[in-house]
Structure 1
C-alpha cells in the first residue's frame, strides 16, 4: 500500500497490536485548513461533537499530543506522546515516552517508542524486550484487543474522534480558552455499539474490537471543540479488560490537537526492518 502525505502542498509516500504487550509491560513496571474545511461556527453543539471525526477529515492534518494514565500496583503511571496525523489517509507518527523501567528498560531508564499508524496496522520501534535494536514490530490493528485505543500506550487520534459518533447525553459545561484558543467544553458518554454502527467501514472493525475490550458499554468523555467545530482535545475514561471479562483496569486517555494543516510526512518501515520473531513481555 502507498499513501500520500498531506498538508501545505508537500507530498510523500507511505507503503502499505502487539499493543497489549506494551500496556502489560507498563503495568508490570509499576494552522490552516485545506479546501472543504468547516466554516466558522459561533456555538458548536452536540451534533458537532458527534461529527468530530468527519470534521477532522475535512480539516486534513494536525499535530498531536497524547497522555495516558493508568494504575500499576496502586501507583499512577503516565505515558506521553507527540507527533502528527493525517485524518484523510488515516496515517500518523508518534513518539511515546514510557514510565521509567517499563517495556524492558533498565531501572530508572525511560524508553521512547516510535509508532507509525497506518490503515490496518501499527508499527512500533524500540519496542523493548526481545526485539533487536533498530527493528520494528508490526501488528495488524484488527489483532489489537481494543482497536488501538489504549494498549499501544497512545490512543489513535482518529479512532478517539470516531468514538464520539456514539456520543449521548452531550452537555455544554463551559466556554474556555486553551492555548489562546476559545473552546466549548462538552461532557457525555460514548455508546460503543452506536459508534460502531455509525462509523465508516475503515474504522468499524477497530471500534468493534474496542467494544469487546472494555468493561462498560458507555465511555465517559470530555470534549473541547473550537469555533470551527474542530476537536481540540478529548479525554476518554475506559475500564480495560482486554476481553477477559474482568473488572478492568482504569485508563484515562487524552488526545490534544493543534497546528491544523501542518505538513505530514510518514514512512512505513521496509519489510527488512520489521522483526518477525517472538516479543518478550516485560
Structure 2
C-alpha cells in the first residue's frame, strides 16, 4: 500500500566479530499542484524507493559516509565511516572510526574495511589480530547479515532492503548537500527483502532475517531526480546478549561516478587465528 502526503517530520550494535568490544559493552495531502516535475515525472513517486538499488547500479559508483548509533545503558555510542563504493562490482572500501573509550581516549585506530559480495574484510581489527593481517567474515553466516557488524551498513545492501518497502509516504522535497531530493518514509521487511533482493544480497539478508529481533525496519530515504539514493536511515532492532538493542544506521551517498578500484587481500594476508572478543 502506497500513500502520498506530507507530514512532519539510536543506535552500533554489538558488532559481532567486527567491532564487538565497542558495544558490549505537513499535514494534509500534497495536492495536485506539484503533480508533475519539469521532466513530466510525478513529484514524490513512492514506487521510486523500490527501484533505488537499480538506480545506484546504473550510477556506477559514489563516495559514501556512514553512521551507526546505539544508545544503551544511558550511553550513546557512534561509529562513523567514510569511503567509496562500486555498485556494479558490489564492492567498496571504508575507513571506520570507533568511539572514544569511557576515559575519553581514542579506543582504536581507524579500521580499514573492504566490502565484497557476501564478505567483509577488516584490517587494524585489534583484539589479537596482527597489524598486517586482514579478518574475513562471511556475511551469510553473521546473525545480522553484516547490516551492522562492521560498524556500517553496506551501501548497496541498504538500498536492496528497500525493495520490500511498504506504506511508503512522500514527505516532501528538501535540499541535501546542495542537491534537491525527495524525502520518503516507510517500513521495509528484512525477510521479504531477502526474497526480492538481487542474488548477491539474498544470503546475507536471509541471515539477518533470522538474527534480528524484528523483521520490520522503519526507514527514511532521500532520492534525487534520477532516482538515486542520496541518504537512507534504517532503524533496526538487534539481539545482543539476550537484549534487544535499537540501532540507527545512516548512509550518505555523493559524488556519483567517482573512479576507484578495490583489490581483495590475498590468502596469505588473511588471519586464521582466534579473535579475542
With normalisation by structure 2, the TM-score equals 0.85
Alignment correspondent of 2:173: 175
2:255 is the alignment partner of 1:259: yes
2:17 is the alignment partner of 1:21: yes
Alignment correspondent of 1:271: 267
Q: 1:133 to 1:76 in 2, by over 3 A?
A: same
Could you tell me how far 1:133 is from its partner in structure 2?
A: 1.4
Matches of 2:262 and 2:15 in 1, distance apart? 20
Displacement over 6 Å in runs of 4+ = none
- Counterpart of 2:223 (choices 216, 222, 225) is 225
Alignment correspondent of 1:151: 149
2:86 is the alignment partner of 1:86: yes
Could you tell me how far 1:212 is from its partner in structure 2?
A: 1.2
Per-residue CA deviation, residues 167-205 of structure 1 (Å, 9 max, x unaligned), is 001001121001110001100000222211211211111
2:197 is the alignment partner of 1:204: no
Worse-superposed segment, 247-256 or 222-231: 247-256
2:216 is the alignment partner of 1:234: no
The 8 Å contact of residues 215 and 247 in structure 1, kept in 2 or not, is answered as: no
Could you tell me how far 1:22 is from its partner in structure 2?
A: 2.9
Matches of 2:104 and 2:90 in 1, distance apart? 34
Matches of 2:17 and 2:85 in 1, distance apart? 24
Could you tell me how far 1:54 is from its partner in structure 2?
A: 1.0
Could you tell me how far 1:265 is from its partner in structure 2?
A: 1.0
The 8 Å contact of residues 18 and 122 in structure 2, kept in 1 or not, is answered as: no
Larger Rg: 2
Alignment correspondent of 1:61: 61
Alignment correspondent of 1:45: 45
Q: Please give the secondary structure, in 2, of the residue aligned with 1:208.
A: helix
Matches of 2:126 and 2:15 in 1, distance apart? 12
Q: 1:180 to 1:41 in 2, by over 3 A?
A: farther
Match runs of 1:123-138 below 5 Å: 123-138=121-136
Per-residue CA deviation, residues 187-228 of structure 1 (Å, 9 max, x unaligned), is 000022221121121111111111112112210000000011
Worse-superposed segment, 176-185 or 211-220: 211-220
Matches of 2:206 and 2:226 in 1, distance apart? 29
With normalisation by structure 1, the TM-score equals 0.83
Matches of 2:15 and 2:79 in 1, distance apart? 13
Superposition RMSD in Å: 2.2
Could you tell me how far 1:121 is from its partner in structure 2?
A: 1.4
Q: Please give the secondary structure, in 2, of the residue aligned with 1:129.
A: coil
* Structure 2: runs of 5+ lacking an equivalent: 1-13, 26-38
* Structure 1: runs of 5+ lacking an equivalent: 1-17, 30-38
